[in-house]
Amino acid sequence: MARLATIRDVAARAGVSIATVSRVLNGDVPANPVTAAKVRAAAAELEFRPNRLGRGLKIARTRVLGVLIPSLSNPVFADSVGGIQAAARRAGYSVLIAATGYDAEREDAEIESLLSHRVEGLVVTVADADRSAALAKLDRSGTPYELVYNLPEATCRPAVAVDNIAAARVVVSAMIALGHRRIGMIAGRFLASDRSRQRHAGFMAALNEAGLPPGPVIEVAFDDLRLGGGFGSALTGSGRPTALFCSNDLLALAVMGALHDLGLRIPDDVSVAGFDGIGFGSLLRPSLATVVQPARAMGEAAFERLLARLDGAPPAPPLTLPFTLRHGGSLGPAPSPQP
């Protein structure tokens, strides 16, 4: 670190004690106006920036927030982080951000690192909240946190999310209402993603309600959106699904490309819907039908809840925010006759 001015430098230049410098600059207690002026002048001349390490160590507050997300390249996370940052800035907090690539080991390591930096609280999105060792450790640490997107089922943890099951059910019901009878799902690995499991549950619920059997359910890895191999055979030929529900928008975009390559037209041959509501989906042609999560607002809400906790409020129950169904050209009536 470059050698920056310390409070001692300012005190010397102003001809006062460091205690006085601290008091003047923090502006809490009254000070002699001429002393204050001298201090301020010295601080300005030296471009004094109080060292937050010193302050943090003393007052045991860092005004730093930790953010843990799978990846910044998914706009749904970039947007929630944008909300967190905006709210944090308003409250005078800085934000330490770590990306995990959906890797449990990295989740753990980054939580350790964040805690070591003594973040006052964390906003966290993990791959699978119910079986996360990192989260269990976080619980033991006593540092307050809020989950975003994850809504654990087996444990009661503070979270801001949408009702994934209900939302998935709404999309799939919309498909059924459009005459689709063979509906498949492309999903992130259930073992690795609580959201993928929950959205699958909603998918099943809608089908059960309508008395329909599920179409093919294909699990894919997060980091492999190339969708090669067995993908094509399940989606072509007679008896193929006429609609595909994808567990997130990034997956849906990849699926649309793959279907195009298979020579299938969207939505004439096959309809597609996603989940998340990333902005780019509505720029596509056909535009992507999807569930819109209020990503930015979720980030803001998570930060506000955290702030309340830091101010002494008791943990709040999970906050479920409303989702909306965004209609799009990718979702149309079932082809007739059925393929």
Partner DNA sequence: CTGAAAGCGCTTACAG
Given the rule CB under 7 A, which residues bind DNA? 5-8, 16-20, 22-23, 25-26, 28-32, 34-36, 48-51, 53-55, 57-60
Decide which of DNA, its own copies, none touches 19; Cβ closer than 5 to 8 Å per partner kind: DNA
Q: What is the C-alpha to C-alpha distance for residues 108 and 284, in angstroms, rounded to an integer?
A: 37
Using alpha carbons only, how large is the chain's radius of gyration in Å? 26
φ, ψ dihedrals at 29, nearest 5°:
-100, 155
Q: Quick one: DSSP state of residue 267?
A: T
* Residue 24 in contact with its own copies, rule: CB under 8 A: no
Q: State how far the Cα of 95 lies from the Cα of 64, in Å rounded to an integer.
A: 6
93 contacts 65 by C-beta, under 8 angstroms: yes
Q: Is 296 helix (H, G, I), strand (E, B) or coil?
A: helix
x-or-dash string of contact with its own copies, 82-111, rule CB under 8 A: x--xx--x----xxxxxx------------
Could you tell me if 23 and 50 are in contact, meaning their C-beta atoms sit under 8 angstroms apart?
A: no
CA–CA dist 199, 194 (Å, integer): 9
Q: What's CA 220's distance to the chain center, in Å? A: 20
Our measurement of the distance from residue 83's CA atom to the centroid of its chain's CA atoms, rounded to an integer in Å, reads 10
One of 14, 42, 148, 256 touching its own copies (CB under 8 A): 256
User: In the bound complex, what is the minimum distance in angstroms from residue 121's beta carbon to its own copies?
Assistant: 9
* Residue from the set 9, 79, 107, 300 that interacts with its own copies by CB under 8 A: 79
Rounded to whole angstroms, how far apart are CA atoms 53 and 40?
A: 21
Q: Residue 3 interacts with its own copies (CB under 8 A)?
A: yes
Site for its own copies contains 61 (CB under 8 A): yes
CB 165, min distance to its own copies, A: 28
Find the farthest-apart pair of alpha carbons in the chain and give their distance in angstroms, rounded: 90
6, 12, 18, 56: residue in contact with its own copies (rule CB under 8 A): 56
Contact with its own copies (CB under 8 A): which of 19, 37, 41, 57? 57
115 binds its own copies (CB under 8 A): yes
Report the residue number, 21 or 254, with the smaller CB distance to DNA: 21
- Binding piece for its own copies, criterion CB under 8 A, among 37-45, 118-126, 172-180, 190-198: 118-126
Pick what 330 binds: DNA, its own copies, none; C-beta below 5 to 8 Å, kind-dependent.
none
Give the angle 260-261-267 at the CA atoms, nearest 5°.
15
Q: Using CA atoms, how far apart are residues 325 and 152, in angstroms rounded to an integer?
A: 23
Peptide bond into 267 cis (omega under 30): yes
The number of residues in the chain equals: 339
Complex with its own copies: residue 56 or 333, whichever CB lies closer: 56
Which entry of DNA, its own copies, none binds 8, CB below 5 to 8 A by partner kind? DNA
Residues at the contact surface with its own copies, assessed by CB under 8 A: 1-4, 47, 49-54, 56-57, 60-62, 64, 71-73, 75, 78-79, 81-82, 85-86, 89, 94-99, 112-120, 137, 140-144, 253, 256-257, 279-280, 283-285
